[in-house]
Structure 1
Amino acid sequence: MRHLGILHFGNTFPSIKKNRIRILFLTLLFPLLLVAQKKVTNQQLVWFAYHNTIRFNENWTLLSEVQERRFFNPGAQHQLVFRSTIQRKLIENWNVSAGMTYFLQSPQDPESESNLIVPELRPDIGFDNKQKLAFMTISHRYKMEARFMHDFTNDELTGGYRFSNFRFRYQLGLDIPLWRQQDTREERLTLRLKDEIMLNSGSKIVKNTFDQNRMYAGLNYRINPDFAVEAGYLNWYQQRASGTDYYDRDIIRFSVFHTLSLKTKKHEK
């Protein structure tokens, strides 16, 4: 009996080892299964933007922008954006801002037969900080948006606006001067690198707390103190409401920056 007991106990070791191997195998395989279930839709877009800055004095600034965002290959409008923000200088290199965005959303599929354009209102508040070093400028931007979507039914707008969710945004930026004008030492050509992450919050957010990440690299050329042009590449990676579907968008962006200083003009008079 003793020998039989020992024999029986000894036979359990291979079983235990096999179970452990299975558990380890499944543990290592599980993330791969999740990746396999992920559906990523790749799209190509081009963005055109006009940015206007009005400086009232050293403390107050009005920032406005218009963006036309379009699919190409095939071509179709994706989004039209109007944004206006009032900015107040705080201590040292910190600013506080409050603004409103009027957002027009066309279908996410450029081949969609729908012509529905859904408006959205986005009030926001934010803080930003810039640290100027010897060889570059580091910027941090923190923003919170409240999103109000227009109701629609059967491809038609109905009713009014309804609160959707909050979105929190953090952007890290690096401005690296590549060329300075010799006589004035003004920065004329600048490499701009940015990374922004966005998180959702609200009762309707179930599987997509992570909203999106945007990585950008561009060249900014300052024509004169009032005008600058910029061209760059943006990668927009976004999780959809399902939690397993994603957009991976390659975007070419062209921007014009126009600055008006009312204080300077007043002194010139």
Structure 2
Amino acid sequence: MPIGARATHYNTVGWFNYFGTIKLSSKWGLHTEYQFRRNDLINSWQQGLLRVGINYQASPNLLLRAGYAWIETYAYGEIPINGLGRDFTEHRLFQMAQLSHQEGLISISHRFMLEQRFVGRYSSAAVIKEDEFPLMHRARYMLRLQAPLKGRTIKDKTPYAAAYNEIMIGFGKNVGANIFDQNRIGLLLGYRFNKTFRIEAGYFNQTLQFGRLINGRNIFQSNSGLIINTNFNF
């Protein structure tokens, strides 16, 4: 890539997330999730994401999930993601497989996801509402490590540390100029109160590449800030 063929814009973000699992039987369950994603840490919208799914515990170490997500992306930052500088809606189907294993004190999980993304766009500046939803595909892989800060296992009333990295790659005819979509990194401290509730918070970074060139340049966002996750198991 020639020197000067890319530009990076920086934002300070705050992601405040709810995750809930409702157990229906020994193998089946429901997944519920809402992510309140803010720009300027808390002052304005970045995204809102609602996700629901069906869980199937295929084995003690393998969790399968499929479902639907609704995402609203806002015109945040110096250069908005949408070429017209507008908000847009995305409807998404997804399939997930998560493998987990233990190595000494460290719990390790590998999450693989496929997504079918129907991303809203405007056919012209004259239209008021998105009138096209082309299909784009994306593959995701996340590696997460966590370990107790007291004792040898994460049980009730246990603090813990966690770190994760996730990469997202787009594919298919509508993916745009770049197949690299995002990379996310999190460094967290958490506390498990009991089997029903745990909370974790820490540093988060999202590196995002636009699917289009602007003046012949690849445009990146580096979005860093605070992430807080609340996790419920019913």
Is the pair's TM-score, using the shorter chain for normalization, greater than 0.5? yes
- Structure 1: how far apart are the matches of 2:130 and 2:201? 39
**Residues matched between the structures, number:** 225
Q: Report the TM-score when normalising by structure 1.
A: 0.76
Q: Which runs of 5+ in 2 are unaligned?
A: none
Q: In the alignment, is residue 205 of structure 1 matched against residue 175 of structure 2?
A: yes
- Structure 1: how far apart are the matches of 2:51 and 2:176? 28
Aligned mate of 2:225, from 236, 248, 251: 251
Name the residue aligned to 1:85: 53
Describe the shift of the 1:232–1:84 C-alpha distance in structure 2 as closer, same or farther (beyond 3 A). same
Q: What is the 5 A alignment of 1:183-262?
A: 186=156, 188-241=158-211, 242=213, 244-260=218-234
- Structure 2: how far apart are the matches of 1:157 and 1:239? 24
More strand by share: 2
Name the residue aligned to 1:132: 102
CA contact under 8 A between 1:77 and 1:106: conserved in structure 2?
yes
Bigger relative contact order, structure 1 or 2, given CA contacts below 8 A and separation 6+?
2
CA contact under 8 A between 2:134 and 2:174: conserved in structure 1?
no
Q: Report the TM-score when normalising by structure 2.
A: 0.87
Q: In the alignment, is residue 75 of structure 1 matched against residue 43 of structure 2?
A: yes
- Structure 2: how far apart are the matches of 1:73 and 1:128? 30
- Structure 1: how far apart are the matches of 2:189 and 2:210? 31
Name the residue aligned to 1:58: 26
How much is the aligned-residue C-alpha RMSD, in angstroms? 2.5
- Structure 1: how far apart are the matches of 2:93 and 2:41? 33
More helix by share: 1
Counterpart of 1:211 in structure 2: which amino acid? D
Q: What is the 5 A alignment of 1:153-164?
A: 153-154=124-125, 156-159=128-131, 162-164=133-135
Q: Deviations over 1:50-107 (max 9, x none)?
A: 1111111221121111111111179311101101121111134112110111001111
Q: In the alignment, is residue 178 of structure 1 matched against residue 152 of structure 2?
A: no
Q: Which runs of 5+ in 1 are unaligned?
A: 1-30, 261-269
Q: Deviations over 1:235-269 (max 9, x none)?
A: 11111122611111102111211110xxxxxxxxx
- Structure 2: how far apart are the matches of 1:62 and 1:74? 29
Describe the shift of the 1:118–1:206 C-alpha distance in structure 2 as closer, same or farther (beyond 3 A). closer
- Structure 2: how far apart are the matches of 1:94 and 1:107? 38
Give the structure with higher Rg (CA).
1
Q: Deviations over 1:154-173 (max 9, x none)?
A: 372143x5233100000001
> Identity of counterpart residues, as a percentage?
24
